[in-house]
Amino acid sequence: MNEYRYAATTVLGLLADSHGRADTTRRAVDRLVTAGAEVLIHLGDVCDDAVLDALAGLSVHLVFGNCDWNWRPMAEYARSIGLIVDHPCGRLLLGDRSVVFAHGDDPGHEREAVSACADYFCHGHTHRIRDERASRTRIVNPGALFRAGRYTVGRLEPAADRFDVLELEPAAVRRAERL
């Protein structure tokens, strides 16, 4: 697993489970950037290169999920547009805080993060918001951008131990999905 270092005060934007919805992903990215996210982590189930295009030009780490059956060519494309592929599991260091992330379909990644005393484990997969602790590890899931009661993303500020769930404006999301 590669390890990337960022300043302790770096704010992370978490998004998951786009399932090919590029317009919704663009809105999610805009919401996160407006909220101060400096580095984005896509937690899998990308499902389409158009979603990767919605992330291009930003500092982005990503893993793929169980619905990303064609993850190898998507990974190649993601790298070609400047995204960092950490599949199946990634690790960031923000000052002295460690953030481990994976899609969430392999429970071994969460167990390993908790047993290694990571400060945070971030995942998607369930389409449900999660914020709880297991030992010293805070486990968070920002929710989903598809097949969820509300479409949400997460803003993680490890230096302040703060996790906020941000909702996308529902009417705009519904309009985008009808197109």
Q: How many domains does the chain have?
A: 1
Residue 177: band (very low, low, confident or very high) from pLDDT cuts 50, 70, 90: low
pLDDT digits 0-9 by tens, 101-149: 999 999 999 999 999 999 999 999 999 999 999 999 999 999 999 999 9
Span 36-52, pLDDT tens digits:
999 999 999 999 999 99
Q: What is the mean pLDDT of the chain?
A: 94
The domain spanning residue 145 has which CATH number? 3.60.21.10
Print the domain residue range for 68: 3-178
Using 50, 70 and 90 to split pLDDT, how confident is the model at 2? confident
Give Cα 95 distance to the centre of its chain. 20
pLDDT, tens digit, 9 for 90 and up, residues 139-173: 999 999 999 999 999 999 999 999 999 999 765 55
Percent of the chain at pLDDT > 90 equals 92
